Amino acid sequence: MTPSPSERLGAGTPRLSLNRWTFRTTPLQEFLEVTAANGIDAVGLWRQDVAEVGLEALRRRVDDAGLRVSSLCRGGFLTAAAEADRTAALEDNHRAIDEAAALGAATLVLVVGGVDREDKDLIGARSRVTEAVTALAPYAEERGVTLSIEPLHPMFAADRAVVSTLDQALDIAEASGSPAAGVVVDTYHVWWDPCLERAIQRAAASDRLFSYQVCDWNLPLAAEPLHSRGYMGDGYIDFPSITAMIKEAGYTGDIEVEIFNEDVWATPADDSAKTIAERFTQLVLPSA
Amino acid sequence: MTPSPSERLGAGTPRLSLNRWTFRTTPLQEFLEVTAANGIDAVGLWRQDVAEVGLEALRRRVDDAGLRVSSLCRGGFLTAAAEADRTAALEDNHRAIDEAAALGAATLVLVVGGVDREDKDLIGARSRVTEAVTALAPYAEERGVTLSIEPLHPMFAADRAVVSTLDQALDIAEASGSPAAGVVVDTYHVWWDPCLERAIQRAAASDRLFSYQVCDWNLPLAAEPLHSRGYMGDGYIDFPSITAMIKEAGYTGDIEVEIFNEDVWATPADDSAKTIAERFTQLVLPSA
């Protein structure tokens, strides 16, 4: 017999991970405690958390709360053309990889960076990303860290990520020649992609599907379009359908809920965690 | 010797067409006169113009101003599932095709419609578009009208167009089996697409590249993201590069400037027309 949602919640919500940024207005320690208290076993952390309390202390707090780290956000920003900027970016990514290793994070998420408004050279920016990921992957591999290249929604192609589709991210991962380079599927960024199912299968076939993140596509778009992410069920995304593709691909890892949304940030953390667990149990878990 | 921009402007600006919606705050007659007075030979019209003055009167005014009609916007909205809605949409598109024929418009632009928030069935919505275009194409063909399926930026996939890429639009056009079904390339919607160059070549190879529309991608996004379109040169799009792909594909038709932008709408029409002609001459025409 299928357990009811409340029975499931009582026993914890398997595979659910709460991304730290969903609770950015909540103090770190409270975030970890709310997560654990709601029977959720994993969190996605940010480098800002490392900066705030230090790497050792962060690791200890997460351990003390009995949590796994499903991902660390974020490395990347690899599109700069000037040599000094490129070198600085690679060094910063080395530190991010070290942090992911120290936290035992399942993967490091890479947001690759935007296009230079002066040269507008989208194709050049993309090839610099490929070069940089190829350079970073062996460093990650040696430390047991995987790199999840994140295709961002095309509305961020100019200013945040010149990688807009899962196929593009896979092209870059494969070009690196390293098994440590792969992709994250974030529903907000890729739900619209007509090639999504095929690309997820492709990621699975090359063992490069490292992370699955969920949230809804809310309309009207928020004034800051990054913040139009919503609770699953509040927008237009068909979670059972996309989650079934991910399952089909053999993904068995944590599923992170990452919501940037002013209303969510204004909600008490425990209420948000409960809403997320409910929606996850209704819309994601049955197909996962 | 290459003529200077001012010499070019003095002799008119070849291939430039002004889309009516770039001047939506300008009365229709003034829009036509400003266009002609600036040495511009073509306009893209909207069905709202037909509704305002009537089909015969609109045709006469355009003829009297000595202008061509490079496109009529817009048919489409073909994703409804209910039979009555589908029938109504097809009938409305028959009227749009008749209007395009009567205006001698080079093509009718189709914005295909969004996804139903209740069923969230993106794939179903897309297949209804294919069926509808297949049903409409013979009607258009008999009247000498071409249908330009418009891929809209993925940020409009939920509410305006479930066709987000040029390849998708071409899949639909080809599936119709009619030479009257093709595509429009609008830089705002497709500039980010990693498959753009190949898709433009594909459109050319099957004689389905019917229209080219230009405007820039401005940031930060306007509160209404449709209105973030800017004068060429104000944003992030590499017009020489994309225009060269269009030329390579053998496109020799009009190039429409379609800008939805509150600041442009607040500018006197003659000033806007001059800015557009200058930017077009600097950034588009040399590669066209």
Residues of B in contact with A221 (CB under 8 A): 155, 221, 225
Q: Output the pLDDT for position B12.
A: 84
Please state the domain count of chain A: 1
Q: Which residues contact B181 (CB under 8 A, 6 or more apart)?
A: B133, B137, B140, B146, B147, B149, B172, B173, B174, B208
Q: Output the pLDDT for position B87.
A: 97
Residue A184, φ and ψ in degrees, nearest 5: -115, 135
Mapped onto helix, strand or coil, the DSSP state of residue A60 is: helix
Residues of A in contact with B121 (CB under 8 A): 238
State pLDDT tens for residues A29-65: 999 999 999 999 999 999 999 999 999 999 999 999 9
Q: Which of A198, A271, A276 is nearest to A239 (CA)?
A: A276
| A221 vs B219, B225, B236: nearest CB | B225
Residues of A in contact with B117 (CB under 8 A): 235-236
Mutate to test the interface with A, among B149, B155, B165, B168 (most CBs of A within 10 A): B155
Mean pLDDT along residues A73-91: 96
Q: Are residues B193 and A164, on separate chains, in Cβ contact within 8 Å?
A: yes
pLDDT > 90 fraction of chain A, expressed in percent and rounded: 95
d(CA A212, CA A280): 13
State pLDDT tens for residues A116-172: 999 999 999 999 999 999 999 999 999 999 999 999 999 999 999 999 999 999 999
What is the SS3 assignment for B120-154?
CCHHHHHHHHHHHHHHHHHHHHHCCCCEEECCCCH
Place of tokens 């490079």: B70
Evaluate whether A227 touches A242 at the Cβ level (below 8 Å).
Answer: no
What is the CB-side half-sphere exposure of residue A137 using CA atoms within 13 A? 21
Measured N-to-C along each axis, helices A122-142 and A166-175 cross at an angle, to the nearest 10 degrees, of 60
In which residue ranges of chain B is pLDDT below 70?
1-11
Secondary-structure breakdown of chain B: helix, strand, coil percentages, each rounded to the nearest 5: 50, 15, 35
* Residue A11, pLDDT above cutoff 70: no
| B154 vs A123, A192, A223: nearest CB | A192
Residue A201, φ and ψ in degrees, nearest 5: -60, -40
**Tokens in use for B170?**
């071409």
Q: Which residues contact A210 (CB under 8 A, 6 or more apart)?
A: A106, A107, A146, A147, A148, A182, A183, A184, A253
Q: Output the pLDDT for position B11.
A: 60
Q: Which of B100, B225, B222 is nearest to B157 (CA)?
A: B225
Residue A46, domain extent: 5-287
Evaluate whether A9 touches A39 at the Cβ level (below 8 Å).
Answer: yes
Residues of A in contact with B192 (CB under 8 A): 122, 154, 157-158, 164
Domain with B169 in it: what CATH number?
3.20.20.150
Give the ipTM of the model, two decimals please. Answer: 0.93
